[in-house]
Chains A and B, each alone.
Chain A
Amino acid sequence: MSITKTLLGRRDLADIISTVEFNHTGELLATGDKGGRVVIFQREPESKNAPHSQGEYDVYSTFQSHEPEFDYLKSLEIEEKINKIKWLPQQNAAHSLLSTNDKTIKLWKITERDKRPEGYNLKDEEGKLKDLSTVTSLQVPVLKPMDLMVEVSPRRIFANGHTYHINSISVNSDCETYMSADDLRINLWHLAITDRSFNIVDIKPANMEDLTEVITASEFHPHHCNLFVYSSSKGSLRLCDMRAAALCDKHSKLFEEPEDPSNRSFFSEIISSVSDVKFSHSGRYMLTRDYLTVKVWDLNMEARPIETYQVHDYLRSKLCSLYENDCIFDKFECAWNGSDSVIMTGAYNNFFRMFDRNTKRDVTLEASRESSKPRAVLKPRRVCVGGKRRRDDISVDSLDFTKKILHTAWHPAENIIAIAATNNLYIFQDKVNSDMH
């Protein structure tokens, strides 16, 4: 698989990036960070005058979405870190997105202002009242162009819906409702109503001592507004139909792969915990990420995934150390490309991996400063596990586990990817294969 990656943008952001999301056209890219800020990038239109600009992404707007809070009842801080951002489908000139921290979801409206009225009769240019004796004729104010101003305002605040930490939000295809999931419950909200939400999944046991499983991620089906899926820490996926009952505790389908007895260890359960689940654009498949693999599931087959890809199987022998330093609990995300033919996920050492479902070939690339020149071709990387070692190989023991790529996003239509590497955001484009194949 030959990839030519061109850098369309690299930004050092003030804080650790905690989420990345393209909007539905790919024109805008939103990032959330640990400090509660949202930074939106906009793709410059490719212009004939500067053919080398290649439609780069530049900062469009920055705003503080969430502030740190203190829960006085529990005497605990509520982190302002943005866990997820989801764009609403655009319905008018304004853009809207939902951003959430552990407890509160907010709906933000982003509008542009590039004109302002001039020629008032009673006010002068600075807005001061005119001396009426100087007004001798009437004029009609006209709109004149001004420098583009992007205004962001919070339109809704959906608070107090969750006791536990929110891990996912997902906008329904009906464009009216959305869901938010925490460790034990999933709530359904109407975008216009903030004082009420409906609980649709509750896996909290009557006796908390019996708690052995939590919800790790959830998403609405892209086309069927009644279907959604949620994943658990035990590696199972549950597809639920909201038409079946008000409380969807009973799943319609349960997707679970039987455990491989030969690979069993004390860490089996931890590494089977699903950290992310994403429906394909077609709606036919689901993509899940657990600690060592990404799996593709067919909605029509519950027994096992149809495809399994090893992300970094060389870590299997190091699970004890990774448990000790807590890396085993890292939650990696996964992504589909626009045509559902390639899947992508992050790994350690600022590596990210792509798997072509058709050719069955895969590649490991690195998001680093060295490769961040604008037209740099990203060189495939290789991790060697002993045995013959090629020149640029990295050995497993030299991997930097503090450099983890947890958040990645793929443009909905083109081969453009956004990779969050700690404080840095990299945006790469595949120039050779610009269009989806």
Chain B
Amino acid sequence: MFARGLKRKCVGHEEDVEGALAGLKTVSSYSLQRQSLLDMSLVKLQLCHMLVEPNLCRSVLIANTVRQIQEEMTQDGTWRAVAPQAAGRAPLDRLVSTEILCRAAWEQEGARPAPGLGDGHTQGPVSDLCPVTSAQAPRHPQSSVWEMDGPRENRGSFHKSLDQIFETLETKNPSCMEELFSDVDSPYYDLDTVLTGMMGGARPGPCEGLEGLAPATPGPSSSCKSDLGELDHVVEILVET
């Protein structure tokens, strides 16, 4: 993410210290608020209550809000892919509202055991909307890279997880929001099916997603994060029982 709050110098040209700052316009407070709202919405979508099914109405409304913001940002031209290395440098004050939100949510979730495989809950919005669903297909290479990179200590490192959300958001095209509900109503597969990856049709199972973390040819724009999320959830249940 390019840093907010920095104004372009009045001198004619400036060097691009970071690729992300190129073409940075003066940030209006409206943009700031809009971005803050977008961040908050994405965090809300991600932080579903895992034990009880998430409220579908609430999820739909939040997703629609995100879509609206995306559309507006696309029209504004402020929506564009940014080089990954610029991520994570957003000033903390912008994240204040989401921090409070995250902190409260993590305090709630603190009692739950940290996911064994790590990847389970620190992912983009797609995966956690409906935790136990059929595995989706191919992975997004960018996401894979990012998941391999960061340490998976715990959910408390919200900076990292928010970075990942931003990453997911930026490296995908604006139509990524459509995947939000791709898994909500898939037929339920039993554990055997999930683990052996016998999904039928063109969809490979989650095991493939786990094994194939090395960058692969970009498939359709769905994330392997949902595969991993599900697998983690399934394994978590197995471990707990």
A interface residues (Cβ-Cβ under 8 A, vs B): 73-77, 79, 102, 163-165, 183-184, 204, 207-214, 216, 233, 266-267, 269-270, 273, 320, 323-324, 326, 329
Contacts and interface: CB of A to CB of B under 8 A. Distances in A.
Contacts of B56: 164-165, 183-184, 214
20 contacts: A73-B190, A74-B188, A75-B131, A76-B52, A76-B132, A79-B52, A163-B185, A183-B56, A209-B181, A214-B56, A214-B60, A233-B57, A266-B34, A266-B68, A267-B65, A269-B65, A323-B37, A324-B40, A324-B101, A329-B58
A270 B65 contact: yes
Contacts of B34: 266
B31 interface: no
B22 interface: no
A159 B65 CA distance: 34
Contacts of B64: 212, 269
B132 to A, nearest CB: 5
A73 B192 CA distance: 12
B179 A209 contact: yes
B184 to A, nearest CB: 5
Interface string B54-83: 011110110111011100000000000000
Contacts of A210: 178, 181
Given A183-B56, A270-B61, A211 B184 contact: yes
Given A79-B52, A269-B64, A183 B184 contact: no
Contacts of A270: 61, 65
B14 interface: no
A75 B132 contact: yes
Given A74-B53, A216-B57, A211 B181 contact: yes
Nearest to A234: B64
A197 B63 CA distance: 31
Nearest to A74: B132
Given A74-B53, A266-B68, A233 B185 contact: no
Nearest to B234: A75
B51 interface: yes
Residues of B contacting A: mostly: helix
A208 B65 contact: no
A76 B53 contact: yes
Contacts of A273: 57, 61
Contacts of B53: 74, 76, 102, 165
Contacts of A102: 53
B40 A211 contact: no
B171 interface: no
A435 B131 CA distance: 54
B184 A208 contact: yes
Contacts of B142: none
A77 B58 CA distance: 18
Contacts of A212: 60, 63-64, 67
A-B pairs, top 6 by smallest CB distance, nearest first, are: A208-B181, A209-B178, A183-B56, A73-B188, A211-B181, A209-B182
B134 to A, nearest CB: 12
Nearest to B190: A73
B121 interface: no
Contacts of B61: 233, 269-270, 273, 329
Contacts of B69: 266
Given A214-B60, A270-B61, A208 B185 contact: yes
Contact of B185 (A76, A204, A214): A204
Interface of A is mostly: loop
Contacts of A211: 60, 181, 184
B165 interface: no
Interface in B135-149: none
Nearest to B51: A77
Interface string B7-40: 0000000000000000000000000011001001
B228 interface: no
A320 B37 contact: yes
A183 B178 CA distance: 19
A328 B100 CA distance: 17
B169 interface: no
Interface in B174-197: 178-185, 188, 190
Contact of B180 (A204, A209, A233): A209
B92 interface: no
A347 B184 CA distance: 32
Contacts of A164: 56
A211 to B, nearest CB: 5
A270 B97 CA distance: 20
Contacts of A266: 34, 37, 65, 68-69
B17 to A, nearest CB: 33
A75 B233 contact: yes
Given A208-B181, A211-B181, A323 B132 contact: no
A269 B41 CA distance: 14
B239 interface: no
B181 A75 contact: no
A320 to B, nearest CB: 7
B178 A75 contact: no
A75 B69 CA distance: 33
Interface string B211-239: 00000000000000000000001000100
A360 B121 CA distance: 52
Interface string B93-120: 0000100110000000000000000000
Nearest to A216: B57
A259 B33 CA distance: 23
A252 to B, nearest CB: 24
Nearest to B52: A77
Nearest to B66: A266
B182 to A, nearest CB: 5
A273 B188 CA distance: 30
A264 to B, nearest CB: 10
A163 B68 CA distance: 28
Contacts of B178: 209-210
A328 B35 CA distance: 19
B153 to A, nearest CB: 25
